A = this chain, B = another copy of it.
Amino acid sequence: MINFEALYKISYGLYIVCSGDKNSGNGFISNTVFQITAEPPKFAVCCNKKNYTAELIQRHNAFSVSVLEQNVSSKIIGTFGYKTGREVDKLAGKNIRYGDTNVPVVLNECIAFFEFRLLQTIDAGSHLMFIGELINAEIIHDSKEPLTYLYYRQVKKGVAPENAPTYIDKSKLEKLKSAAVSKKYKCPACGFVYDESIEKVKFDDLPADWVCPACGTEKSDFFEIY
């Protein structure tokens, strides 16, 4: 028996993973960045095959990872997590540094960054796992906390986009006992659905300055769906 709610007990951070170069760069938000060996320091990053960044990593054989800060703005999440670099230049206007491999590194609202040379690409089905050797690591803000997936879900009320390895089809989640009286509210701008039976906080109880975690639209613009 698989209780999909149990998957929320696994801890993750949230990161901007970038590749490309000065002419054409892109990045996406990933929660699956982790160290796999200590000596030499190797890391793995998962990326949906459909992501534009997956193409760039394979073309440039390198990638960067920036660690998002806990108080990241919904604008950064919206741009890197819910838009595609095939349609939007996500790096335009951002504070970018270029690494030894020429890959872009996003510095905005991040507390540390890493640069990797691609060693191996593993096909995991819907996703590719990129294994990279660490060649650069720097702290940007030592006093700020990293954003975790738990914080993003519980405090920022965010959900994983459909391309994420941790995306959970809501129909798979066990219903709350209160499900019969829970409601759903939709963002008119990006389609994000706030589902009370999943979030376990009534939409009305969210603070007035709460905004859509996907695109930043104000709470008052949301409408109820049935």
- Which A residues fall within an 8 A CB radius of B? 1-7, 9-13, 32-42, 44, 46, 67, 111-114, 122, 124-127, 129, 131, 134-139, 142, 146, 148-150, 164-169
Contact = CB atoms under 8 A, between A and B. Distances in A.
Contacts of A11: 11-13, 146, 148-149
Contact of A137 (B3, B13, B166): B3
A193 to B, nearest CB: 17
A36 B3 contact: no
B125 A9 contact: no
A6 B112 contact: yes
Contacts of A6: 112-114, 137-139
A146 B151 CA distance: 13
A138 to B, nearest CB: 6
26 contacts: A1-B137, A1-B138, A3-B137, A3-B138, A6-B113, A6-B137, A9-B139, A10-B33, A10-B67, A11-B12, A12-B13, A32-B36, A34-B34, A34-B46, A35-B165, A36-B46, A36-B124, A36-B127, A36-B129, A37-B124, A37-B125, A38-B168, A38-B169, A39-B126, A44-B129, A146-B150
B165 A38 contact: yes
Contacts of A34: 10, 12, 32, 34, 46, 165
Contacts of A168: 38
A40 B125 contact: yes
A151 to B, nearest CB: 9
A41 to B, nearest CB: 7
Contact of A126 (B5, B33, B37): B37
Contacts of A9: 13, 67, 111-112, 139, 146
Nearest to A69: B9
